[in-house]
Chains A and B, each alone.
Chain A
Amino acid sequence: MLKRLIKTIFLISLIIFAFSCKKSKLFETEPNNTFSQANRVELNSEIYGYLDSETDIDNFIFESLENQVVRIELSGVKGVNHAMQIWRVENSRVTPLKIIDDNRKSSPEEFANLHTPPGIYIITVMHGNRDEKKGNTENPYMLRLTSRQYISEEEEPNDSSANANHISDTVQITGYFSPGQNLVNEQGEYREEDWFKFIIDETENLPLLADIQLKGVSGVDPVLQVLDSGLNLIASSDNSGPGGDESIQNIGIKDPGTFYILLYSKNYQYNNNEAYFLNFRLKQHEPGTEIENNDTIERANTISGNEIRGRISSADDVDYFLFKPDSKNNLFRVELTTPAAMDTVIEVYDNRMSKIMEVDNSGPGGNEIIPNLFINEGVYFKVSSKSGFDSNAEYVLRIAPMHIEGPVEKEPNNNLRDANIINKSISGFISYKDDIDYFLIKSDSRKKLSLTIRGVKDGIVKVSTTDPLGYIIRTVEVKGDQTISMVEMFDKKGYIIVEPVKAAYNDPYHITIEEAR
């Protein structure tokens, strides 16, 4: 029994001894309140210190001997809102690089990736601004510096266009949404921003297209933007929530200059442990593909040929195109082939930029068709998606000339005022869902006319005749491409109104009028 007790006491003593022999902690040496008094620290080491009064400031200096990246971690101190500022010493001048402060008491501060080319750097541990400053003489902080090799990544600090990192034609770079706030960035509401730039010179074969994709990180809702040389916003992507990806495709570069990519997180969100990936690619513009930014009618891409391909890369992306036919007064069939994820809409504007029609006949993944578009001098098309987008899938907008014997209705003819005049015959289309076509019959005297109506293949139309004021007198329904005749009196003037009951867009209806016997 006694032996066992002695053994136990011996074992406990051994454990206590082993713990007491662990490596001793390195503590700051006060005073170190000024740069000249800064304590020297080595990379890949820790140092402890106290913010022991409300005015205490601790400076630490380290040297980087190679082009590398340093992670800086400052542990929390109970009841103290601390912060750290990072400086670079160059030619005896000290330049502020970052202020890192999460504005919370007792919480640690961290900066994931300070880019440190060879040189001298200073870290100042201090009180934050938000809370009442008070010292803590019992609980030390721990400052840890960990270096690693520089790879293809952002070079912090890159918080402004002036400090933007230069990137090449095709590159994947990584970076961190770290820290959450950067108080040096007064332009950007103290938010942490990452700026990159690419330069297009006169020797490039313009136009070029730029594709930018951001692979997000958990807990951060990112925003991706592209700006031109004058820092005007060209494109923006803010489609996903926290942890989501962002993408901007086919940004058109038509002129030489410096262009900027800006990344930031919403609401000062950060992730010090998971790196984002930014893919950037410049490519030659292929004729027949859209060039972003074409989000306004003034910036519409001109369609050369009869087809253009584009992408809806975000929920608010819209694409405008200008089409000018070779000859005037031509009839075209317009078809938009839609990727599965999208529910597209085509809007058509005349050359005075007045809206002619909006076509939204199909659901998600369905093609949109305008079977009969008369184009005189030129029209603008606006392609958008009501729901869904896919930056990797292309839509195709085709404008094909078509020929129909005899007169064909001209949209818009959706009311009495815009009614097309019908003489002997006319062909018309259900151009879009709920399209109503008005036709005007005029004569010098009262006439009894025989109307022959051939319906729309696979569709159903309602055909009405009216009095001179446009009030409906009689209505017949024509199913499929059957032919129906009716006799109606027109007192110098009257209208024929064609309305779809069941829409079918591919084939026309046909109306013939002749004097009844």
Chain B
Amino acid sequence: MKTCILFFTALLSLMLIQCSSVDRGSLIPERESSDINFILTAYDTDIDDPSKDRRSYYRVYINKIDSGRTTTGLESQAKFFETQLPPNRHLVKLEKWVLDEELGRYVKLNNIEQPKPDFIYVTADKTGIIKVTMKSTKFGNAAFSKVVE
């Protein structure tokens, strides 16, 4: 029975992610230099209560090395990260940080609250720009989409 409910919740989340009416994927980061070949966009899809729309960012680990972070913004807003990847297959992993207003600083979300899955493999070559979008829900489910232009 439990397995059934979990499966149903996951299915519903994926449907929500796919059916999200906001097309943030069409948003582009502010700067795209000629060297950049990897652009990541991340946002939450189902925030419907402004009081629960926290300020956040994602720390980006590429091949298990801290490679920077996305821009900051509300969970519902698209946040960007861009870098240059050498030709190869790369593991990109994300870590979500949210603002603790009382502390005046961002704190890492507990592992249990981190979006799952929190990684994607991408293969960079010499010509294309890889654009990855991660959409997540308040239940912690995430879905990655990838296009190469």
Q: Mark B56-71, 1 if CB is under 8 A from A, else 0.
A: 0100000000001101
**A51 vs B13: C-alpha distance in the bound complex, in angstroms?**
111
Contacts of A489 in B (CB 8 A): 68-69, 71
Tell whether, in the assembled complex, residue A491 and residue B71 are in contact, meaning their CB atoms are under 8 Å apart: yes
Known pairs A445-B30, A446-B30, A446-B31; A472 contacts B69 (CB<8 A) = no
Q: Mark B1-40, 1 if CB is under 8 A from A, else 0.
A: 0000000000000000000000000000111000000000
CB distance from B65 to the nearest CB of A (A): 12
Asked whether any CB of chain B lies closer than 8 Å to the CB of A162, the reply is no
Closest B residue by C-beta to A494:
B72
Q: Mark A443-454, 1 if CB is under 8 A from B, else 0.
A: 001101000000
Contacts of A487 in B (CB 8 A): 68
Contacts of B139 in A (CB 8 A): none
Known pairs A445-B30, A445-B31, A446-B31; A473 contacts B68 (CB<8 A) = no
Interface band, chain A: 10 to 19
Tell whether, in the assembled complex, residue A472 and residue B106 are in contact, meaning their CB atoms are under 8 Å apart: yes
CB distance from A514 to the nearest CB of B (A): 16
Tell whether, in the assembled complex, residue B69 and residue A471 are in contact, meaning their CB atoms are under 8 Å apart: no
**A487 vs B55: C-alpha distance in the bound complex, in angstroms?**
21
CB distance from A444 to the nearest CB of B (A): 10
Asked whether any CB of chain B lies closer than 8 Å to the CB of A468, the reply is yes
Which single member of B30, B31, B69, B101 contacts A473 (CB below 8 Å)?
A: B69
Interface band, chain B: 10 to 19
**A445 vs B68: C-alpha distance in the bound complex, in angstroms?**
17
Tell whether, in the assembled complex, residue A473 and residue B55 are in contact, meaning their CB atoms are under 8 Å apart: no
Asked whether any CB of chain A lies closer than 8 Å to the CB of B50, the reply is no
Tell whether, in the assembled complex, residue B68 and residue A491 are in contact, meaning their CB atoms are under 8 Å apart: no
Most chain-B Cβ atoms within 10 A of its Cβ — which of A464, A468, A473, A475? Answer: A473
Tell whether, in the assembled complex, residue A471 and residue B68 are in contact, meaning their CB atoms are under 8 Å apart: no
Tell whether, in the assembled complex, residue A468 and residue B30 are in contact, meaning their CB atoms are under 8 Å apart: no
Contacts of B71 in A (CB 8 A): 446, 489, 491
Asked whether any CB of chain B lies closer than 8 Å to the CB of A347, the reply is no
19 contacts between A and B (CB under 8 A): A445-B30, A446-B29, A464-B105, A467-B57, A467-B106, A468-B72, A470-B104, A471-B104, A471-B105, A472-B104, A472-B105, A472-B106, A473-B69, A473-B72, A473-B106, A475-B105, A489-B69, A489-B71, A491-B72
B-side residues, CB < 8 A to A, are 29-31, 55, 57, 68-69, 71-72, 97, 99, 101, 104-106
